[in-house]
Structure 1
C-alpha cells in the first residue's frame, strides 16, 4: 500500500504548532527557539518528510538543478568530468541532469532543449561548433558555460585547459633522450582542443628541431588505432597522442603489433586515468586535470546566479607526468 507523502501540516499536527512555525523551523530560522527547531526537525525526520522541490521552485523561480551536456559518457575523460561536476554540485545543494550530444548538432539541440524544458538554473556544455547560433540564443536567457572547448567567434565563456605547458615539457623530455622523429595522433580538427594541441605540437617541434609525422585522428579510439599503424610505417622513435581516445587506440595498436612500449618506442598519452598507471610500462601523460576543470566550471556557473553577468571562464594549465613509457632512447 502506497502512503501519501508527509506534509508540513502533518508535522505541525504532530508537534502541536502552526504550519508557519514548522516551515521556519525546517529552514533553521533563528526566530524559532533552538529547542523547538530541534524537536520539529527530529519529528520531520521520523515522519520521513521530503521537501516539495517543485513547490519550492515555483516560489523561488529556481529549481536547484544544473544541466550538463557532454559528447559521450563512454569516453572516460567526459565521465570523469561529469563525476567532478556532479560532486561539486551536490556540495553546493544542486542536482545534476546529465545528457549526451553524440558530437552532432541535432542531438545537442535536443539535449539543450530538454534541459531548458526542465527549467534548470544553468547549463554547462561541451559545445559543438555547428551549434553556435542555437547556443548563443540559449545563453541570452539561461546561464550557459562551455567546458573543455570554446567556439571561435562566440562570446560564451569557457573553462578550458592550456595544452602548451604539457606538450612542451613532453617534447623536451623526448628530445633530451635523443628522439628526433616524433609521431603525433591529432584529435579532431573541428574542435578548439584538437586545433590548438596540433599547433602547439608543431610549434614546439620546430623550436626543438624535431621531425614531425602527423596523423589526423578523430573522436573514436579506432582512429587512434589505425593512425598508430600508419605512423609506425614511417618509423618514428616516439609517439604522442593528442587526446585520451587517441591514446587508447595507440595502446591497442602497439600491443597488437608487439611493439614493446618504453623499450622499442616511447609513448606519451593524454589525460591521467588509473589504467594508464597499471600498464606493463606505465604511460607518460599530458594531464589537463579534468577534475579541476569540472569543479571550476560548476563553481563559476553557480556564482553567476547571484548577479546578471554571464558565468566566468577559466584556463587550467596542463602538466607533463613522466613514466616508464618514455624510457626508450633511440
Structure 2
C-alpha cells in the first residue's frame, strides 16, 4: 500500500499522539492486538498504514519475556489519598498490558528500601515511586533508579529517577490564599513544625510568597507532632489553639486536608461554629481534596491535586523508558495546577 508523506514518528509516544489514542492503549495493542476493541484496533492500524512507524518489538518483547511487572511504591496505603492515586495508576498499568505490584512503605525508610529490594529481586520492567521524602535514604534510592527504570511522583528527590510529576504548590496555595483573602480575613497557616512530607515545606514557602504578593502579614502556626497521624495532630494541637483563643484572624489554612479534618473536629468539640455564614466564628481550609474532605461537617474547602494527570504522565513516562530502553539524561519534571474546591468550611 502506498504510504502518504507524513511527519516522522520517532517513538510510541509520537505515534499515540497522531492516533488520538492513549499511550497505554497503543502499548497494549502492540503487546496483543486482540486485547483492544475492534474500533480501536482499526484506528491504530489505519495510522500504521499512514505513518512511517514500526515499534522496536524486539526490545519490547525482550523486556516482556523477562518481566511484565511494574512496581508501584507509595508512602502509606492507610492514607486514602495514596490509595486513590494508586488505584488510578494500577488501572493505567493494567491497560498497558503490565502487572502492577503495589507496595506500601508504611511511613518508614527501612520499609521503603525493603520494598525496592523486593522489587529488585524479581527484576521489574520499571518502578513508579512516591518516596517518603525527607526520611528517605536518597543515596540508596538513587542507586536503585540507576539500575531499574524509575519515575517519581508526588514527592521529588534530586538525582532519583528519570522523571518527576507532581503538583504546583506555588499555584495551588496561591489560589486558595487569594480566595480566602478576597472572601474574608487573611489566613494563618497551620502546619507541623517538622513535616514528614517535603511538599509541606513547599506549601509553607508558597503561603509566605502569596501573602507577600498581596501585601498581607503572614502568620505561621507550627505545632508539635511527627509521623503520619495528621488527624490526631490536627485535633490535639488545634484544641490547644482554640482553647487559647488568641488567633490573629478567624481564618485558618491547613497545610493538608488531614490536619484540617482534625482541626474541624477540635472546633466542634470546643463549641466553635465553622463556616462561611455570618454566625460562624472560624473558617478552615485545607489542601489536597482528600477523599474524606467532602464528607466532613461542614464540608472542607480545599484545593484538589490533579492526580489523574499526574498518574497518566507517570505511567506514560515509565512505559517510554521500558519500551525504548533509553535514558534521556536530563530528568523530566512537570508540575500540574490545582483546582479550588469551594465547600462549606470557608
Find the counterpart in structure 2 of residue 269 from structure 1: 286
Establish whether residue 176 from structure 1 lines up as the match of residue 176 from structure 2: no
Establish whether residue 213 from structure 1 lines up as the match of residue 220 from structure 2: yes
Asked whether the 8 Å contact 2:150–2:161 carries over to 1, the reply is: no
SS at the partner of 2:106? coil
SS at the partner of 2:281? coil
> In terms of mean alpha carbon deviation, does 123-132 or 91-100 score higher?
123-132
Distance 1:63 1:241 in 2: 43
Distance 1:153 1:231 in 2: 40
Offset, 1:256 = 2.1
Count of residue pairs brought into register by the alignment: 275
> In terms of mean alpha carbon deviation, does 179-188 or 154-163 score higher?
179-188
1:70 to 61, 68, 74: 74
1:178 to 1:151, Cα distance in 2 relative to 1, 3 A: same
Indicate the structure (1 or 2) with the bigger Cα radius of gyration: 1
Find the counterpart in structure 2 of residue 203 from structure 1: 209
Deviation digits for residues 26-50 of structure 1 (CA, Å, limit 9, x no counterpart): 9669xxxxxxxxxxxxxxxxxxxxx
Distance 2:257 2:193 in 1: 9
Q: Unpaired segments of 5 or more residues in structure 2? A: 1-30, 35-59
User: What TM-score does the superposition give when structure 1 sets the normalisation length?
Assistant: 0.75
> In terms of mean alpha carbon deviation, does 255-264 or 215-224 score higher?
215-224
1:85 to 1:143, Cα distance in 2 relative to 1, 3 A: same
> In terms of mean alpha carbon deviation, does 57-66 or 139-148 score higher?
57-66
SS at the partner of 1:98? strand
SS at the partner of 1:173? helix
Deviation digits for residues 213-269 of structure 1 (CA, Å, limit 9, x no counterpart): 322454322222223224333324111121233233222222222322102211111
Offset, 1:92 = 0.9
Establish whether residue 323 from structure 1 lines up as the match of residue 336 from structure 2: no
SS at the partner of 1:103? coil
Structure-to-structure mapping, 1:142-291, within 5 angstroms: 142-152=148-158, 154=160, 156-180=162-186, 182-186=188-192, 188-208=194-214, 209-216=216-223, 218=226, 219-221=228-230, 222-232=232-242, 233=244, 234-235=246-247, 236-262=249-275, 263-291=280-308
Asked whether the 8 Å contact 2:171–2:337 carries over to 1, the reply is: yes
Establish whether residue 111 from structure 1 lines up as the match of residue 121 from structure 2: no
Offset, 1:171 = 1.3
SS at the partner of 2:323? coil
Find the counterpart in structure 2 of residue 137 from structure 1: 143
Asked whether the 8 Å contact 2:165–2:314 carries over to 1, the reply is: yes
2:321 to 304, 319, 322: 304
Q: Unpaired segments of 5 or more residues in structure 1? A: 1-25, 30-55
Find the counterpart in structure 2 of residue 38 from structure 1: none
Find the counterpart in structure 1 of residue 311 from structure 2: 294
SS at the partner of 1:325? coil
Distance 1:255 1:87 in 2: 39
SS at the partner of 2:148? coil
Asked whether the 8 Å contact 1:65–1:97 carries over to 2, the reply is: yes
Offset, 1:104 = 2.2
Deviation digits for residues 263-317 of structure 1 (CA, Å, limit 9, x no counterpart): 2211111222453223332211111122322232112111211221257442111
SS at the partner of 1:283? coil
> In terms of mean alpha carbon deviation, does 61-70 or 306-315 score higher?
306-315
